[in-house]
A and B are shown apart, each in its own frame.
Chain A
Amino acid sequence: MSKAVIVGILIILVITISLAIYSSNPKEIRVRVTTTTSLYATGLLEYLADEFRKEHSNTFFDFIPVGSGEALRRAENGDACMVFVHAPSLEKWYIEKGVINSRKIFAYNYFIIVGPIEDPADIRDSKSVINAFKKIYEAGEEGKAKFVSRGDYSGTHIKELSVWSQADLDPHGRPWYLETGSGMANTLLVANEEKAYALSDVGTYLKLKKEGKLSDLEILYSNDTELINIYSVYIVSLCTGAEKQAAQEFAEFVINGGQELIANYGTEEYGQRLFNPARDNIDWLEEVWEKLSKT
């Protein structure tokens, strides 16, 4: 019996592999790009890739949307040539290991605190984000407010945790602190239902708001340097050959010709920028990135 089974498996393996080789056209260059789901979901990367491909029609980009940690881990295994991420401290760790190099900051935006229109914790005029979080904590303890957290160790969640620790507060286990353990969209919908506060990225919030799904939520606090969200692109050290060259060209495009496209991306749809181009503020951003990477 075992002979027949082994022969069968071998035949199938040979067929699969030959099909794979046959289907890969040698003239086209495929660049494997890992990225975080939240960035991919805005559609910016595919938009930039489409614009880039107008001049480089034989280059194809395979975007693989996963979590920040997974994106970098796959790069370490040599299963990506390019990485688009926004988690400075994690990036630093992989730069030091030699996994990724040639960092280029290409965009930034701000995390926002959203909450019920009535603003029971009165954070609208807070002096700083830490001050706002303190007010939410107090209102929570008094039973006047709730806070919804991602609870999934995503970039946004890590940001939220660092603000709590800077404020010297630990909301875990408090009855008003809800952890959804799911994505940003789902977390915002929960916040809307519960009339609760939440930390969010701009893109996801504006998108859902425009679709009318967040009728009870508003942006209550934003534009604090503490809440900055910096997006960088890297080349993976293990990547070689034509794929690497194409990746480098695309990275150059993103920080040069692509900057204008980034600035205008989504403005027509949402009446507000989703991303700010990095070029004009690059020195300041480098400085902030260094600071963030140490936390």
Chain B
Amino acid sequence: MFNDILDITLRSLWISGSATIISSLWSILLAYKLSRSSGASRYVIPLFEALIGIPTVLIGLLLYMILSSRGPLGVFRLLYTPYAIILGQAILVTPLITSLCYRVFSNSWNTFGELAYTLGASEKQVMTIVLRESIPGVIAASVMGFSRAIGELGIALMVGGNIRGFTRVLTTAIALEVSKGEFETAVVLGVVLIVLVVAVSFSLRILKRMYRT
């Protein structure tokens, strides 16, 4: 029982952690580029902001149809593996992390970038300043992405399959325990999930403070 919960918790952590890191890589890059081009961002950012609340079960279903043996990417046999969940969650949190980072970068440019320019800094120096000032905000965006990823159910259920010891994560375990009538176990798993998200958030906040000083 305890071992099962530990196993499921660690799996949730690495699956959603990987998804957040992978998604952050492209989201931060995309957000930075968008913050430098007012043309594209006018359309992309409102679109992404609208997509933040997209139902996870819809992404799960679409991804299932792509990864299914009959789907276009069926040959890779990714369905029912943790990697399928990682891919889905990475897609899920992209709009969230991108639009949050976009705000952070835009603010940094307005506050520090232009000031640095007027003080005669070079292009490269300006970029360094803007990026450095953006780090706390970018971390905060990633934490929110992680929270959304680890708390989602639809993708993990559809493309992971809730297989014991392989793709069972906290949210799918909660859903299974509820359907079994084991409400107490479900609540314990829920508490673990919340503690985990809060712990990650606080530890990154402490890191952020250390970085500041």
Contacts and interface: CB of A to CB of B under 8 A. Distances in A.
Partners in one complex: yes
Interface of A: 1, 4-5, 8-9, 12, 16-17, 19-20, 23-24, 32, 37-38, 41, 46, 62-65, 77-79, 183-186, 188-189, 204, 207-208, 211, 213, 238
Interface in B1-39: 22, 25-26, 29-30, 33, 37
Given A62-B161, A64-B161, A65-B176, A16 B86 contact: yes
A184 B30 CA distance: 46
B87 interface: yes
B68 A185 contact: no
Given A183-B178, A208-B181, A64 B162 contact: yes
A37 B25 contact: no
Interface stretch (B71-79, B127-135, B143-151): B71-79
A30 to B, nearest CB: 9
Nearest to B69: A78
B81 interface: yes
A1 B33 contact: yes
A62 B79 CA distance: 12
A77 B26 contact: no
Contacts of A12: 22, 25-26, 90
Interface residues of B, number: 32
A1 B162 contact: no
17 contacts: A1-B30, A5-B26, A5-B30, A5-B33, A12-B90, A16-B86, A17-B76, A20-B81, A23-B81, A62-B161, A63-B163, A64-B80, A79-B79, A185-B180, A185-B181, A186-B181, A238-B69
Interface string B74-99: 10111111010011001000000000
Contacts of A37: 176, 179
Contact of A17 (B78, B166, B179): B78
Contacts of A64: 80, 161-163
Interface in B147-194: 161-164, 166, 176, 178-181
B192 to A, nearest CB: 21
Contacts of B74: 78
A21 to B, nearest CB: 8
Contacts of A24: 77
Nearest to A207: B181
Nearest to A78: B69
Contacts of B69: 77-79, 238
B70 interface: yes
A32 B79 CA distance: 11
The A interface, classified by DSSP as helix, strand, loop or mixed, is helix
Contact of B68 (A20, A79, A211): A79
Contacts of A20: 76-78, 81, 83
B124 to A, nearest CB: 18
Given A62-B161, A64-B162, A78-B68, 6 more contacts: A4-B33, A16-B87, A63-B164, A183-B181, A185-B179, A185-B181
B179 to A, nearest CB: 4
Q: Which 5 A-B pairs have the closest CB atoms?
A: A185-B181, A78-B69, A1-B33, A64-B161, A41-B180
Contacts of B179: 37-38, 41, 183-185
A12 B176 CA distance: 31
A160 to B, nearest CB: 18
Contacts of B87: 16
B44 to A, nearest CB: 11
Contact of B83 (A5, A19, A184, A188): A19
Contacts of B22: 12
A63 B80 CA distance: 10
Q: A16, A23, A37: which has the most chain B beta carbons within 10 Å?
A: A16
A38 B22 CA distance: 36
A62 B166 CA distance: 8
Contacts of B178: 183, 185-186
A149 B113 CA distance: 63
A30 B89 CA distance: 25
A32 B162 CA distance: 12
Contacts of B162: 64-65
A20 B86 CA distance: 12
A57 B37 CA distance: 58
